[in-house]
Structure 1
Amino acid sequence: MKVVNINEVKAKLSEYLDLVAKGERVVICKRNQPVAELRAVEQKRTEPRLMGGGPHHFAVPASFFEPMPDEFLDAFEAGPIFPATTHPSRVAERPDGPYGPTRSRNPRR
């Protein structure tokens, strides 16, 4: 690690960048107080990462592959977001909300 004052860095920036490119760290000081550090940029990985190759292992339980109970399927398929009574021709209409009919934000409609 090299410690230099800002005036020296201004005069010899390319030399310090060459040092940084070789792996050296350069601490820049202003009035002998450290204010910044030059270090090499980490290179991106070029090879793709292996999925599941992290430090922790994850086991998929056998129950993951079993069919979902009907209560869960009904909650997804006939719930408040996609009610089972919605007819395809009426999808664009707004249903009544929990506090009464939903009004359009545009008063001209």
Structure 2
Amino acid sequence: MKSSSIVNVHEAKTHLSKLLSRVEAGEEIVIARAGKPCARLVPYEERRPSRRIGLFRGIEVPPEFFDPLPDDELAAWEGG
């Protein structure tokens, strides 16, 4: 479980480097303004977009898929 500490804005501004060292060590720091929490310092985590490997595996597109549309269907798509 993460430990957390609450510090006021003045202390955060004065001791930012020390607070960052504590965050890098795994501590969560909550910054409060007038006693009310307003921000949280947590370690940075690189986010990679999720990939769905093989989502279209096995799907084949037949060659006629790329044939031109018949005139009446083309007109329907074009709002005619």
TM-score where L is the length of structure 2: 0.61
CA RMSD of aligned residues (A): 3.2
Indicate the residue corresponding to 1:13 in structure 2.
16
Bigger RCO of structures 1 and 2 (CA < 8 A, at least 6 apart): 2
Indicate the residue corresponding to 1:73 in structure 2.
67
Please give the alpha-carbon distance, in whole angstroms, between the structure 2 residues aligned to 1:73 and 1:16. 63
Indicate the residue corresponding to 2:53 in structure 1.
52
Q: Which has the higher helix share?
A: 2
Question: Which amino acid counterpart does residue 53 of structure 2 have in structure 1?
Answer: G
- Residues 65 and 74 of structure 1, relative CA distance in 2, 3 Å threshold: closer
Structure 1: tracts of 5 or more residues without a match: 81-97, 99-109
Indicate the residue corresponding to 1:41 in structure 2.
44
Structure 2: tracts of 5 or more residues without a match: none
Q: Which has the higher strand share?
A: 2
Size of the aligned set, in residue pairs, is 68
Indicate the residue corresponding to 2:26 in structure 1.
23
Q: Give CA deviations for 1:34-76 in whole Å, capped at 9, x if unaligned.
A: 111111211366xxx87717xxx55534xx253326xx5022x
Question: Which structure: larger Rg?
Answer: 1
Please give the alpha-carbon distance, in whole angstroms, between the structure 2 residues aligned to 1:68 and 1:28. 62
TM-score where L is the length of structure 1: 0.47
- Runs of 4+ deviating beyond 4 Å: none
